[in-house]
Structure 1
């Protein structure tokens, strides 16, 4: 083994890695402090150069294929955590600097999501079995960041219900308002908004999600106030009092930000406003990691706030409010990962062992990206007119409390 040890000696400073190579020789790296202790065994000699060249992708694939295994009680979450707490060291390694320059050069090509291609990319992930997603999501099938008032005591169901109320309070709905939802998931937000009296037009490019969502709105008794269309956001027309998009902008791609926000602009009534909820990064613009790009979210990208606000400037939308949720998604995904682990055998019965290992790696990687990396979630209120959103944001808290106590209806004002 010649190549991999050179890389590991450079970047593993925190924690400790015990590595058995394909010949059975033990090699050790790291200080043993400020991180996990992980024991790994490699079963393929070619992993020496493959891991050294592209560790983020190859480590995942080797685990998926069984050529990388764990011993002494270690597991994939510990390995991903070890990478996570040494992230800065890995990024500074010479071979990785070169690889990232290549990725940046290919960024716009990798995130090309024209009509048709965007739908195919989304279906890759969202057209999986409803039964599978029910193994780890909350009862409402909310597959986006929850809102934890107390991460120690809130259940996942409570935190997801709180997220829906938080979004609804920001929208400041009045009965009969027309709402466009871009990226409707399995329908929980549409159901919530319809229960508050809105007329919801919801679009999605996943036929499986739409099938489930239509069934759920019927069961909830609001099918007369919610209409689902299998449609790309670029194909939606009309004018609406509110536009809401939760967990969809990550699939737009940097090439298409102006088109996305331009569509939001065009859909809004002059005195209407939009609420955009998406994953972002606090660091400068980057690229999508190779594992996530290849196996989980092809065409996806987590934007830097500088990219988001630059696009808003170009399309002429007011950014009326911004809230940054820093650890809420970490707490959310921790629940998902733990539930997935508890239901792993059921997941394997639906798909197979390799699929389960892929999802274990994915859930650990994104969870730790919100704990040790630069990821966070932003919620923006956007409008065409300066005063479409109340100028004092206290209304959000006031309306949220009123929504949580229906016997005390919220005061409604169109502007502040």
Structure 2
């Protein structure tokens, strides 16, 4: 697909355009000129507004269409820019338009949740049949090969430990927590209980893997070391693998400060190069970064390093299988700006890949997507409340808006059930379950 030519597009009235560094953000600074596609985007916007009951507000406060009270709201500051970006780039253009400040919402999660519900129905069926003609494929040079995986991880996790510390709780755990629930099973989440909820999640995963004193444990994907610390405190001996130099440095510091350096080792190592035999293997929200072509290699590695009678416990974000298949070859805003080279799997895809390529079988699965929605809400509120500190670390407005959209987009995915998070147990037939 050829890039749309660029020409000045009338911006309309509204707040001043954010200062955008064209070297850092070339596709945010540049507004494509795609008049026919912009007209199609306008028709699609009107369809979405009617179908989902959205309030679309034009510059000056005029609504595009009548909307019910309390409707999720999309405020267009520069309608021309928005329509040309969306017309030329689809959902990538939608995200870049937010980064550029072309639109806003007083409740970003509510708006994105409305759009994330049954997303296929937003586009007329006739247009859906043309999808292969206009959807972009993920760039081949972002595939998480052994050579590229480190750059992909560095793109996200090596931004700055200080940045992550601004919105994560003191455990520095960057994955879904498990909160206490009310009598109806709803998570009871608060910032003051987030650290305890993260420990609850970690302990459940370690229990699932049967991590005990003397256990030889491999962790694939270190994070900032909290799981390694919890495992070492149980008396396990843990080797943890990461491709992030920033994470490795901080995890080692935290492990040393806790007096656990004799039990926990953090290596800068690709999962494919893992060595040794382990009684248990754990991996938290790592498989999403592996990429579909490499799921067999990832699961084969788990099988190869697992000692007889051992257990593998994974925490994985998942999506419905049909949605995974529909988006597997699509270049998305998340892939372009947040997690290059990855793909969220379905539970079926993981089970089938394990069965086809390994002796491992999926023997237990427990989902708790609403807990991730609440975890993300707490992170998002913390991040947006510390915008000045984000700026002080050297991150510009475009980055801040990108990160806000990423957190809100993810939260909406879990609130609508488009995404789930699950703890999975894989064992070999005949092993204790």
TM-score normalised by L of structure 1 = 0.85
Q: Deviations over 1:111-154 (max 9, x none)?
A: 72110201110110000111111111111110011111233355
1:380 match: secondary structure: strand
Kept in 2, the 8 Å contact 1:57–1:290? The answer is: yes
Deviation at 1:30, TM superposition (A): 6.6
- Alignment gaps of 5+ in structure 1: 390-416
| In 1, Cα distance between equivalents of 2:139 and 2:389 | 38
Determine the structure 2 residue equivalent to 1:231: 269
1:58 counterpart = 2:93:
yes
Over the aligned positions, Cα root-mean-square deviation in angstroms equals: 2.5
Kept in 2, the 8 Å contact 1:108–1:255? The answer is: no
| In 1, Cα distance between equivalents of 2:306 and 2:230 | 21
| In 1, Cα distance between equivalents of 2:161 and 2:65 | 42
- Alignment gaps of 5+ in structure 2: 1-37, 182-186
Determine the structure 2 residue equivalent to 1:39: 75
Deviation at 1:14, TM superposition (A): 2.1
1:374 match: secondary structure: coil
| In 1, Cα distance between equivalents of 2:41 and 2:63 | 11
Kept in 1, the 8 Å contact 2:142–2:152? The answer is: no
Kept in 2, the 8 Å contact 1:111–1:301? The answer is: no
Kept in 2, the 8 Å contact 1:111–1:255? The answer is: no
Kept in 1, the 8 Å contact 2:229–2:255? The answer is: yes
Moved more, 293-302 or 153-162: 153-162
Determine the structure 1 residue equivalent to 2:200: 162
| In 2, Cα distance between equivalents of 1:142 and 1:133 | 9
Determine the structure 2 residue equivalent to 1:372: 416
Deviation at 1:100, TM superposition (A): 6.0
Number of aligned residue pairs: 382
Moved more, 286-295 or 302-311: 286-295
Deviation at 1:2, TM superposition (A): 3.2
Deviation at 1:323, TM superposition (A): 1.2
How do 1:204-223 residues align onto structure 2 when only pairs under 5 Å count? Answer: 204-223=242-261
- CA 1:46–1:38: 2 relative to 1, 3 Å: closer
Determine the structure 1 residue equivalent to 2:158: 127
Deviation at 1:211, TM superposition (A): 0.3
| In 2, Cα distance between equivalents of 1:266 and 1:362 | 35
Determine the structure 2 residue equivalent to 1:341: 384
| In 2, Cα distance between equivalents of 1:318 and 1:264 | 12
Kept in 2, the 8 Å contact 1:317–1:382? The answer is: yes
Deviation at 1:283, TM superposition (A): 3.9
Q: Deviations over 1:45-90 (max 9, x none)?
A: 3543331343421122122123x144xx736445434423473432
Kept in 2, the 8 Å contact 1:187–1:217? The answer is: yes
Deviation at 1:372, TM superposition (A): 1.4
- CA 1:91–1:159: 2 relative to 1, 3 Å: farther
- CA 1:34–1:260: 2 relative to 1, 3 Å: farther
1:122 match: secondary structure: helix
Kept in 2, the 8 Å contact 1:15–1:34? The answer is: no
Kept in 1, the 8 Å contact 2:110–2:412? The answer is: no
1:32 match: secondary structure: coil
Determine the structure 1 residue equivalent to 2:349: 307
Moved more, 12-21 or 267-276: 12-21
1:118 counterpart = 2:149:
yes
| In 1, Cα distance between equivalents of 2:57 and 2:374 | 30
Kept in 2, the 8 Å contact 1:35–1:82? The answer is: no
Question: 277, 280, 286: which one pairs with 1:242?
Answer: 280
Question: 371, 374, 381: which one pairs with 1:328?
Answer: 371
1:277 counterpart = 2:315:
yes
TM-score normalised by L of structure 2 = 0.82
Determine the structure 1 residue equivalent to 2:172: 141
Deviation at 1:355, TM superposition (A): 0.8
Determine the structure 1 residue equivalent to 2:112: 80
Kept in 1, the 8 Å contact 2:361–2:426? The answer is: yes
- CA 1:246–1:208: 2 relative to 1, 3 Å: same
